[in-house]
């Protein structure tokens, strides 16, 4: 034990010695440079050449050396970064990760430069008649260093007239990084949204859509009413994002979207209809049934798609049948649901089974039903638990997925089998009957 510790200590000491040696060597060279009176740009270039050619020279060491140069060296370092960005543009990775040691060194320098010194430098491409290259470089640096406070600067850097697609891509990368780093960006982004250009707003939407969070979904639904031109895109994004989020979706989001269905927004009605379907908004069913009588075939077909998605029913495009079904379901909820809920919560397994069998035939508010039923999937009584799993499979709600995964660990083999079957039916995925496998899969519940 002590021998191992000694060995580790020896290695640490060796590394420290090597690092110190490197720093000393570099410092001595720097002293030579100073003494020789070389221009700053030249010294920056020399360090960068060294780091690119000498794999033994650590990025951190070279970075520290650059940082040790005077403040006046920052513009030269930034210029060098512009050149690097241009040369690496073709091989740039999708997530904006550095592609070579020179770039890594320079990013190290910017990461360790105080904001007070860095921000004016990065703002310079906005104020001056600067090239796209400088803006791209500034955005690349901000992707690593920025916080929500830099949001305005980021937007100004990305906005040019005419619009430059490479800047929009850089903006997207920067915002992607920022959203993952600073939650304050959401409120900043919402405030900035109305005044941003169409291109920038499109980038905002794309960035938020990739976060797959409820906060982003709420934000997108809130800006809906402020948006005209991109409203169809917003609605499509909201619909697609919601697929990965647990059910039920928050009422605030639903009402923000439903509003455009009720008002029959002429700008984006096809997208609104599909969005309420994706959101599984049961409250929009009356409007959707009414749309089945719309003279526009496209809207009728979209409404039918949404109705089928929300309810899980395969009724054809017959408004009368949908109306009859909806009325009967509403009546059931009004008159029968309280007693069935009491049955579910009753201590008697028989009463619970009766309630479950009745619930299995329902299709309105099926996510709410699933939430109520899912507790019984892990019931001590194997009969109740099995029937609960079967009922959940009938309801086909993703809200039941976590509860069904828990049921995979039930003591009774029949319950486990029923839970597994239900999970496969709901998710359309064929995973093994092990809770670990289902938990690991991103099912979006």
Partner 1 sequence: MAIRRMRAGVKSRSDRRNQSGTAIVAALVVVTVVSVLSMAYLQLSMSKNREQRSSVDAKRAFYIAEAGLAEAYAGLVAGKSGNVGNGTIPARFANGAFWVESVDEGDGRRTLTSTGMCGTGRSALSVVVENVPEPVGALGVFGDQGLFVGEGVLIDGYDSRRGTYGSQHPVVVGGGGGGGGGLLGGVGGLVGGLAGSEEGPAESRVGCNADIVLPGGLAATHIDGDAQPGPGSSVLRGLGVTITGTTAPRTKSAELPVLDVPSLPLAGDIDHSTVRTPLVLSPQESSFGALRVRAGASAVIVGPAKLVFGSLQLDLNATLTIDATNGPVDLYVSDYLNMAAGSTYNSTSHDPTGVSLLIAASQSIDRNRDGIPEPPARIQSSGTFYGSVYAPAAALTLPSQLELFGAVAAKQLTIGNGAKLHFDRALCAPQNGDGALPQMLCWRLVELPDVPLVQMRLDPLSVMELNGITPTVSKDAHYDNGDDPLAGVVGVVLRVIQGSK
Q: How many residues bind partner 1 (CB under 8 A)?
A: 24
Under 8 Å between Cβ of 245 and 444: yes
Q: How far, in Å, are 274, 284, 368 from residue 362 at the CA level?
A: 22, 17, 11
Interacting stretch for partner 1, rule CB under 8 A, among 145-153, 305-313, 324-332, 394-402?
305-313
Residue 314 near partner 1 by CB under 8 A:
yes
Q: Is 297 helix (H, G, I), strand (E, B) or coil?
A: helix
Under 8 Å between Cβ of 377 and 383: no
**Nearest distance in Å: CB 247, partner 1:** 17
Q: What string of DSSP letters covers 110-145?
A: HHTS-HHHHHHHHHHHHHTT--HHHHHHHHHHHHHH
Decide whether 174 or 302 has the Cβ nearer to partner 1.
Answer: 302
Q: How far is it, in rounded angstroms, from Cα 142 to Cα 289? A: 50
Decide whether 143 or 304 has the Cβ nearer to partner 1.
Answer: 304
Among residues 296, 338, 361, 437, which is the contact residue for partner 1, using CB under 8 A? 296
Among residues 79, 144, 305, 383, which is the contact residue for partner 1, using CB under 8 A? 305
Instruction: Write the binding mask 200 to 229 for partner 1: x where contact by CB under 8 A, - elsewhere.
Output: -----------------------------x
Instruction: Count the neighbouring beta carbons within 10 Å of the beta carbon of residue 389.
Output: 34
Tokens 């590394």 -> residue? 15
Q: Is 432 helix (H, G, I), strand (E, B) or coil?
A: coil
Residue 163 near partner 1 by CB under 8 A:
no
Among residues 317, 336, 358, 406, which is the contact residue for partner 1, using CB under 8 A? 317
Interacting stretch for partner 1, rule CB under 8 A, among 71-79, 119-127, 316-324, 405-413?
316-324
Instruction: Write the binding mask 256 to 295 for partner 1: x where contact by CB under 8 A, - elsewhere.
Output: --------------xx--x--------------------x
Q: How far is it, in rounded angstroms, from Cα 225 to Cα 204? A: 16
Among residues 63, 96, 239, 343, which is the contact residue for partner 1, using CB under 8 A? 239
Residue 298 near partner 1 by CB under 8 A:
yes
Q: How far, in Å, are 157, 200, 215, 291 from residue 150 at the CA level?
A: 11, 15, 21, 46
Among residues 64, 173, 302, 397, which is the contact residue for partner 1, using CB under 8 A? 302
Half-sphere exposure of residue 239, counting CA atoms within 13 Å on the CB side? 19
Give the interface with partner 1 as residue ranges (CB under 8 A): 229, 232-233, 236, 239-240, 243, 270-271, 274, 295-298, 301-302, 304-306, 308, 314, 316-318
């Amino acid at each position: 034990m002590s021998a191992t510790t000694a060995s580790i200590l020896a290695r640490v000491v060796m590394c420290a010695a090597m690092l110190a040696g490197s720093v000393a060597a570099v410092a001595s060279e720097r002293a030579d440079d100073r003494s020789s009176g070389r221009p700053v740009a030249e010294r920056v270039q020399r360090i960068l050449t060294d780091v690119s050619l000498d794999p033994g020279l650590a990025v951190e060491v070279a970075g520290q050396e650059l940082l040790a140069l005077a403040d006046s060296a920052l513009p030269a370092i930034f210029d060098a970064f512009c050149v690097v960005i241009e040369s690496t543009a073709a091989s740039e990775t999708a997530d904006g990760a550095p592609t070579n040691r020179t770039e890594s060194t320079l990013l190290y320098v910017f990461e360790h430069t105080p904001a007070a010194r860095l921000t004016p430098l990065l703002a310079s491409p906005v104020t001056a008649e600067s090239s796209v290259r400088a803006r791209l470089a500034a955005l690349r640096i901000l992707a690593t260093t920025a916080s929500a406070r830099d949001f305005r600067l980021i937007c100004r850097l990305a906005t040019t007239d005419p619009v430059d697609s490479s800047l929009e891509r850089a903006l997207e990368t920067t915002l992607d990084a920022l959203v993952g780093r600073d939650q304050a960006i959401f409120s900043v982004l919402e405030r900035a949204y109305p005044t941003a250009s169409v291109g920038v707003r499109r980038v905002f939407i794309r960035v938020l859509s990739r976060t797959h969070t409820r906060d982003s979904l709420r934000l997108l639904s809130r800006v809906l009413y402020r948006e005209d031109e991109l409203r169809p895109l917003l609605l499509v994004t909201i619909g697609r994002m919601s697929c990965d989020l647990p059910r039920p979706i928050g009422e605030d989001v639903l009402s923000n979207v439903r509003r455009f269905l009720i008002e029959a927004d002429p700008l984006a009605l096809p997208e609104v209809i599909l969005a309420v379907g994706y959101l599984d908004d049961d409250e929009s069913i009356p409007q959707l049934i009414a749309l089945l009588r719309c003279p526009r075939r496209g809207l009728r077909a979209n409404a039918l798609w949404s109705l089928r998605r929300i309810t899980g029913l395969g009724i054809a495009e017959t408004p009368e049948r949908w109306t009859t079904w909806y009325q009967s379901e509403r009546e059931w909820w009004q008159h029968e649901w309280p007693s069935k809920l009491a049955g579910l919560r009753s201590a008697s397994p028989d009463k619970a089974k009766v309630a479950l069998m009745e619930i299995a035939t329902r299709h309105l508010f099926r996510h709410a039903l699933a939430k109520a039923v899912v507790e019984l999937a892990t019931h001590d009584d194997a009969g109740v638990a099995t029937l609960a799993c079967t009922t959940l499979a009938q309801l086909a709600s993703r809200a039941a997925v976590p509860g069904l995964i828990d049921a995979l660990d039930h003591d009774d083999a029949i319950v486990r089998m029923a839970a597994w079957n239900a999970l496969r039916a709901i998710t359309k995925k064929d995973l093994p009957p092990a809770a670990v496998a289902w938990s690991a899969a991103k099912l979006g519940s």
